[in-house]
Structure 1
Amino acid sequence: MSSIELFENYFQTKPAVTSFAHGRVNLIGEHTDYNNGYVLPTLISQSIEVSLRFRNDDQIKGVSSEFGDLKSTINSSKDGTWLDFVRGALFFIQKISPDIQGVDVAVHSTVPSSSGLSSSAALEIALLRSLTQLHGLSLKSQEMAKIGQQIEHQFVGTQCGIMDQMVSACGSIRQAIFLDCETLQTKSLPLFSNYTFIVIHSGSKRKLSVGSYNERKEETTAASKTLNVPSLRYASFDQINLIKDLTIRKRAKHIISENDRVIEATSCLEENDAKKFGELMYLSHQSMRDDYEISSDELNRVVESAKNNGALGARLTGAGFGGCVIVLTDSEKTELMAQSILSQCPHASLITTISGKLNS
């Protein structure tokens, strides 16, 4: 069912506008974005579609194919439901056009929630696209991404970086996007044409609480202060031992090494070196497991299965604590690789496959 059908069935009228935004998978560069570092994500085919129409009062009435129907008002306090995203989007759009009031909204998603595939950012960008279209406003993609991040900060409570919103707003299918999260400069890179990324859900929904995510940000901020640098992108391995707290030191080690891996991985895409790219993926997972401590038994099991079955690389993707693994393999072995992993990890499931080929 599309968001249009959902809207018509629930509100018994047609929506005024419909927009969508894709989810994303991060190829490499985890938790570096809120440290002003580098990331290398790409879009997935799954998306979130939003249909809406304006109202002449302050009411928000919404229906979601996944989470059901809710009612609220523009100025209500955040309540932990998906309407927090709608309230946030309206709050920022009202700053541009103060006469905007409430909305009726329908949301349909094919992006699995709590899986590390950025369903939140896709919802934010889809909402902003619909609202700007509905009210005839002009908003550049980068500005939209910044607003999406502020929705997350102020209305959801997650102190996320800018990566998810930037790739959802600015990315392209079958293209990786190298993003400098400090300058917001981007570079699009074709994916490997003869190798495929497989996205597999570990079977464990992400157990990340807002507190766990924000704790990692606080730890890396503490590391930056100890090293007297604006952010860990400006730190080097030579400085690591200046951090006396062992936990903080490990967090810094991951961020510094992960930034280096993103730069190397970007060169691998440019040079069509899938073997080296895969090696960097394994190193990234090891760092997230041991130094950043955001992996889980289920995620580790999928990565080990991929490695034992000859995958070029595999790593958890997203914030961690559950969710998905991304696997790199020869395109001719994609189906066999996926089947082998799923047979060895019975709770896992295939989400999607991605490559640079037009028919992927």
Structure 2
Amino acid sequence: MSEKAIRLVRRLQEGKFQEQLRRVDPYEIAMNRNRARYISALEEFRRLYGDRTVEIYSAPGRTEIGGNHTDHQHGRVLAASVNLDIIAVVSPTEDNLITLKSAGYAPVCVNLAELQPVTEENGTSAALIRGVVSELEAAGFSSGGFRAYVTGDVPGGAGLSSSAAFEILTGTVISGLYHNMEIPAQTLARAGQEAETRYFGKPCGLMDQMACSVGGLIYIDFANDPAEVRRLETDFEKFGHVLCIVETGGSHAEMTDEYAAIPAEMRRIAGFYHKEVLAQVEPEVFWRDIPTLRKQFGDRAVLRAIHWFGETCRVSAQADALEAGNFPEFLRLIRASGNSSFQYLQNVSSRRDPREQPIALALAVSDKILAGRGAARVHGGGFAGTIQAFVPEDLVEEYRKSMDGIFGEGACHVLRIRKYGGMKVI
């Protein structure tokens, strides 16, 4: 049952809601940190809107484990929600308006009677809110107004999908306030993808939203609709490795054109066969036709298609290796994935300024530190942003210090996989 914000603050201060906190992140230090975050968010909500009846929701960031740029061609991916999240303190209203204040940003207000895309909103949180609500209503899930204060620790533009987390948070709030948390995870994910593509103005696949919505470590095959989703019960720490994400100081938020060129070129190859995506093209036919394809579409488009065919097969092999407990084989496949992204997909550096290649530098330093152990690869969209590394436990501190020394304090995030996706916490 919902309670007034001031009462939730007191109960959190008294040590209540242990089970709810444990579901978000079971580590004691994380539970204490989240308790403090919720108290701070509740107090800010009261300052903005008064002492209203409220609920608290959370949506995690995500990490791409395998399947670099495969989802938009209906391929396969391994992805996981992580222990960095975005939270919202919300209160329902009857005015048919969504009024939202995010920490560090100006308030936004969306009238639910006006759900068509607004060109001037491209690239804004208002566009994402409008898009998510519109898509959920098209799927048969009505919405209603609410006031919200939002804050989080998912770095924006750093490859952990802060936009997807925000989309899933918005949908989860609607599911909790108006549908008893019964909107399916895949429906929320598709609403987020459509919002990002049609309203926000950034083309994307479905992996980010699916990982944020479903939660845990999941294998996804997008060949069919609905996608096949399988949870993998794997803890990297039991293999003596820690998952790290390194922010290299460059945001891919301004790389939309280069990012969009990847699916566009892959679709041109598919279009040669009168297909929409590469998943509908037979690999043997593609390899046979390379002489013709390169003349018509150029070598880069062919190389990116080569990456796709190899990468989507690697994902299945990665999942098999993890389920069999063969971690050395999993690491070998991660390295192969990174090499393919670097050589064929070509999303490690941007053409905007060849002097700046932070991802390539981070990978080079990772190779030096890991010295044949663990694995490192470009993460997410690429061109700027982040790398991902599986670091042996005895090297974690050295790795973190080295990366922070080059790319700035706090650049290296030591992450854990979060068991749950979008959720109502309290």
Q: TM-score, normalised by structure 2?
A: 0.76
Q: Please say if residues 208 and 320 of structure 1, whose CA atoms lie closer than 8 Å, have aligned partners that are also in contact.
A: no
What is the aligned counterpart of 2:364 among 295, 304, 309? 304
Does residue 1:68 correspond to 2:106, yes or no? yes
Alpha-carbon offset, residue 293 of structure 1: 2.2
Alpha-carbon offset, residue 326 of structure 1: 0.8
State the distance in 2 between where 1:20 and 1:332 align.
Answer: 32
* Equivalent residue number for residue 247 of structure 1: 300
State the distance in 1 between where 2:221 and 2:145 align.
Answer: 36
Q: Please say if residues 195 and 274 of structure 1, whose CA atoms lie closer than 8 Å, have aligned partners that are also in contact.
A: no
State the distance in 1 between where 2:307 and 2:146 align.
Answer: 43
Aligned residues, how many? 353
Q: Which runs of 5+ in 2 are unaligned?
A: 1-36, 350-356, 419-426
What is the aligned counterpart of 1:151 among 186, 195, 215? 195
Does residue 1:162 correspond to 2:206, yes or no? yes
Does residue 1:47 correspond to 2:91, yes or no? no
Distance 1:13 1:355, change over 3 A: closer
Q: Please say if residues 8 and 15 of structure 1, whose CA atoms lie closer than 8 Å, have aligned partners that are also in contact.
A: no
What is the aligned counterpart of 1:259 among 312, 329, 339? 312
Does residue 1:24 correspond to 2:24, yes or no? no
- 1:222 is paired with a residue of what secondary structure? helix
Equivalent position amino acid for 1:152 in 2: E
**Which structure has the larger Rg?**
2
* Equivalent residue number for residue 92 of structure 1: 135
Distance 1:290 1:207, change over 3 A: farther
Larger helix proportion, structure 1 or 2? 2
Alpha-carbon offset, residue 347 of structure 1: 7.3
State the distance in 2 between where 1:187 and 1:94 align.
Answer: 27
Q: What pairs up with 1:272-311 in 2 under 5 angstroms? A: 272-296=325-349, 297-310=357-370, 311=373
* Equivalent residue number for residue 177 of structure 1: 218
Q: TM-score, normalised by structure 1?
A: 0.89
State the distance in 1 between where 2:283 and 2:96 align.
Answer: 51
* Equivalent residue number for residue 217 of structure 1: 263
Q: Please say if residues 247 and 407 of structure 2, whose CA atoms lie closer than 8 Å, have aligned partners that are also in contact.
A: no
* Equivalent residue number for residue 384 of structure 2: 322
Alpha-carbon offset, residue 344 of structure 1: 4.7
State the distance in 1 between where 2:330 and 2:254 align.
Answer: 27
Alpha-carbon offset, residue 346 of structure 1: 4.9
What is the aligned counterpart of 1:196 among 238, 242, 258? 242
* Equivalent residue number for residue 17 of structure 2: none
Q: Please say if residues 203 and 347 of structure 1, whose CA atoms lie closer than 8 Å, have aligned partners that are also in contact.
A: no
Q: Please say if residues 66 and 315 of structure 2, whose CA atoms lie closer than 8 Å, have aligned partners that are also in contact.
A: yes
Q: Please say if residues 378 and 386 of structure 2, whose CA atoms lie closer than 8 Å, have aligned partners that are also in contact.
A: yes
Alpha-carbon offset, residue 340 of structure 1: 3.1
Alpha-carbon offset, residue 208 of structure 1: 4.2
State the distance in 2 between where 1:229 and 1:135 align.
Answer: 40
- 1:60 is paired with a residue of what secondary structure? strand
Equivalent position amino acid for 2:286 in 1: Q
Distance 1:17 1:92, change over 3 A: farther
State the distance in 1 between where 2:282 and 2:42 align.
Answer: 49
- 1:276 is paired with a residue of what secondary structure? helix
Alpha-carbon offset, residue 59 of structure 1: 3.5
State the distance in 2 between where 1:229 and 1:84 align.
Answer: 31
Q: Please say if residues 37 and 181 of structure 1, whose CA atoms lie closer than 8 Å, have aligned partners that are also in contact.
A: yes
